[in-house]
């Protein structure tokens, strides 16, 4: 068989060099004859300037927002409460309008351990019982502080098989003489409130950054992934579990369950919200709060950051992407949906709910319809220069106390607002900036700072 070989010979093309030279010369001639670029007159704006106003706050020109209105409100009577035992989602333990002065001022500060760092964060709000304030720092240290600011005891709850700094986050609830502590290490521990001694510890084999909720003889808890638990209050044994779809966009600090006489409402990182019979854990209803605000959203995070809050026969719950929903407690049916993301649980009061949104606004909504009544911008970008606008301030709350709506912020301010129109009426400095929602007991407001301090305002 004869093999065929193909031979390619490169040959020069007559006149090719001349043609190339002519083309280059023509291009140079045309560029020389072109008119100079026209520079339009006027001020230059960064392309992201539409996202902020001249004062650095969020601008919403791209979203139709109803004009603010002034509307009266009938708040619950001021209550002289001695304790603040857990998150505000459960009606039986919520203090609707605790007593507090019109312009609280810093009374004292006390160290509680490690503050926020690049890898670790304080996520637990304080709880108060029997004249003692309980806190968790960013490194799993629990501290009991007296009403005068003295340290009563401390406990490092880092598990023996782990090292400090390997996990962060947690939550607190207190009931009777027992303090219940959840940790990012994946444990729930019951401590003696007087001494800090351990009563029991339950290993969940999952993240434990959410705050526990105590109701009757059960401790309810939602992990930072896709599981909810009900634990026996006396010994920590698992009574029942529930699960949801897995999510990869969890925010540090899981949503605390909200409990009624019959139903436990749990929310998860996937955006699922479940209503379960609280004794046995059987599903009664399930729904989702998903999606993002049309036009603009700060993030597309499915996690429920506005923990469930039960008020009457309604459950309010929101995500971080521009969705806040009102659901029926009995069946989970949607009553209304607002284009307001919630970075914390709403606060129901009178005919309204108050919420700090994902756009860093304090907003008042009609509780029945979800219609916006007013919105007040809160400080937004940490850096004002457009090229440095990547980090925003964190705001915690709101709570209603002393007839005012109160927000604690990590820009170093405690702000009080008029509930009728959203006007700021008082402010005070928080040394180190807030790292937790404020709580009120005994006429004193307590807040934890990012520097690892407990501050008392009265």
Sign (positive or negative) of CA dihedral 333, 338, 340, 344: negative
The CATH number linked to 439 is 2.130.10.10
Element containing residue 17 per DSSP (H, E): helix 16-33
CB atoms within 10 A of CB 404: 23
pTM of the model: 0.84
- The count of structural domains within the chain is 1
State the pLDDT at residue 91: 97
Q: Is residue 134 part of a domain?
A: yes
Q: Is residue 38 part of a domain?
A: no
Q: Is residue 22 part of a domain?
A: no
- Could you list the beta-strand ranges (E) of 256-391: 258-259, 263-267, 272-277, 283-288, 306-311, 314-318, 324-328, 334-338, 347-349, 352-356, 361-366, 372-377
Find all residues with CB under 8 Å of 19, minimum gap 6, and list them.
none
Closest CA to 123 of 132, 134, 112, 135: 135
CA distance 402 to 418: 11
3-state secondary structure of 26: helix
Q: Is residue 237 part of a domain?
A: yes
Torsion, CA 13, CA 19, CA 20, CA 21, rounded to 10: 130
Q: Is residue 274 part of a domain?
A: yes
State the pLDDT at residue 58: 41
The Cα-based distances of 182 to 47, 138, 202, 365 in angstroms read 44, 13, 10, 32
Alpha helices (runs of H) in 129-277, residue ranges in sequence order: none
Q: Is residue 3 part of a domain?
A: no
State the pLDDT at residue 300: 60
3-state secondary structure 47-113: CCHHHECCCCCECCCCCCCCCCCCCCCCCCCCECCCCECCCCCCHHHCCCCECCCCCCCEEEEEECC
User: Contact 186/207 with Cβ under 8 angstroms?
Assistant: yes
Q: Is residue 44 part of a domain?
A: no
Q: Is residue 179 part of a domain?
A: yes
| Domain of 409, in residue numbers | 75-457
Find all residues with CB under 8 Å of 97, minimum gap 6, and list them.
75, 76, 77, 78, 79, 349, 400, 401, 402, 403
Find all residues with CB under 8 Å of 68, minimum gap 6, and list them.
373, 374, 375, 421, 422
Closest CA to 220 of 397, 89, 82: 89
State the pLDDT at residue 60: 43
State the pLDDT at residue 389: 59
pLDDT one digit per residue (tens) for the chain, 458 residues: 434 443 333 444 444 444 444 544 555 444 555 566 777 777 665 554 444 444 333 444 445 678 899 999 999 999 999 999 999 999 999 999 999 999 999 999 999 999 998 888 898 999 999 999 999 999 999 999 999 999 999 999 998 888 877 777 889 999 999 999 999 888 999 999 999 999 999 998 777 778 999 999 999 998 766 789 999 999 999 999 998 877 666 666 678 999 999 999 999 888 899 999 999 999 999 999 876 665 555 556 667 888 999 999 999 999 888 889 999 999 999 999 998 889 999 999 999 999 999 889 999 999 999 999 999 999 987 766 665 556 788 999 999 999 999 999 999 999 999 999 999 999 999 999 999 999 999 999 999 999 999 999 99
State the pLDDT at residue 292: 64
Cis peptide leading into 65, omega within 30 of 0?
A: no
User: Contact 194/152 with Cβ under 8 angstroms?
Assistant: no
3-state secondary structure of 167: coil
CA distance 263 to 265: 6
């Amino acid at each position: 068989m004869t093999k065929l070989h193909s031979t390619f010979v490169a040959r020069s093309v007559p006149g090719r060099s001349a043609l190339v030279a002519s083309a280059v010369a023509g291009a140079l001639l045309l560029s020389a004859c072109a008119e100079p670029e026209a520079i339009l007159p006027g001020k230059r704006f960064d392309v992201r300037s539409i996202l902020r106003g001249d004062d650095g706050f969020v601008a919403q020109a791209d979203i139709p927002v109803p004009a603010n209105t002034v509307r009266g409100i009938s708040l619950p009577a001021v209550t002289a409460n001695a304790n603040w035992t857990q998150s505000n989602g459960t009606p039986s333990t919520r203090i609707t309008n605790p007593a507090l002065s019109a312009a609280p001022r810093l009374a004292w500060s006390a160290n509680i351990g490690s503050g926020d760092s690049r890898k670790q964060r304080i996520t637990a709000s304080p709880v108060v019982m029997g004249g003692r304030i309980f806190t968790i720092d960013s490194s799993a240290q629990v501290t009991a502080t007296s009403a005068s600011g003295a340290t009563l005891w401390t406990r490092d709850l880092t598990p023996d098989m782990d090292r400090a700094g390997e996990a962060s986050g947690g939550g607190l609830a207190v009931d009777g003489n027992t303090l219940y502590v959840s940790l990012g290490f994946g444990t729930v521990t019951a401590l003696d409130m007087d001494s800090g001694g351990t009563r029991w510890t339950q290993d969940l084999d999952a993240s434990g950054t959410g705050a526990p909720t105590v109701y009757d003889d059960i401790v309810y808890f939602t992990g930072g992934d896709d599981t909810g638990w009900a634990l026996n209050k006396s010994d920590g044994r698992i009574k029942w579990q529930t699960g949801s779809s897995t999510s990869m966009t969890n925010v540090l600090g899981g949503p605390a369950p909200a409990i009624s006489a019959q139903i436990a409402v749990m929310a998860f990182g996937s955006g699922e919200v479940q209503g379960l019979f609280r004794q046995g854990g059987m599903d009664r209803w399930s729904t989702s709060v998903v999606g993002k605000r049309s036009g603009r959203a700060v993030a597309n995070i499915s996690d429920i950051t506005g923990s469930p809050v039960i008020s009457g026969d309604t459950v309010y719950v929101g995500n971080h992407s521009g969705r806040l929903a009102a659901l029926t407690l009995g069946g989970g049916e949607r009553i209304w949906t607002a284009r307001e993301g919630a970075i914390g649980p709403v606060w129901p009061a009178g005919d309204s709910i108050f919420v700090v949104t994902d756009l860093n606004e304090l907003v008042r909504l009609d509780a029945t319809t979800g219609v916006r009544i007013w919105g007040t911008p809160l400080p937004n970008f940490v850096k004002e220069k457009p090229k440095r606008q990547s980090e925003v301030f964190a705001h915690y709350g709101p709570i209603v106390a002393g007839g005012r709506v109160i927000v604690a912020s990590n820009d170093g301010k405690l702000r009080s607002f008029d509930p009728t129109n959203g006007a700021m009426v008082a402010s005070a400095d928080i040394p180190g900036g807030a790292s937790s929602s404020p709580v009120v007991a005994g006429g004193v407001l307590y807040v934890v700072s990012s520097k690892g301090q407990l501050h008392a305002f009265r």
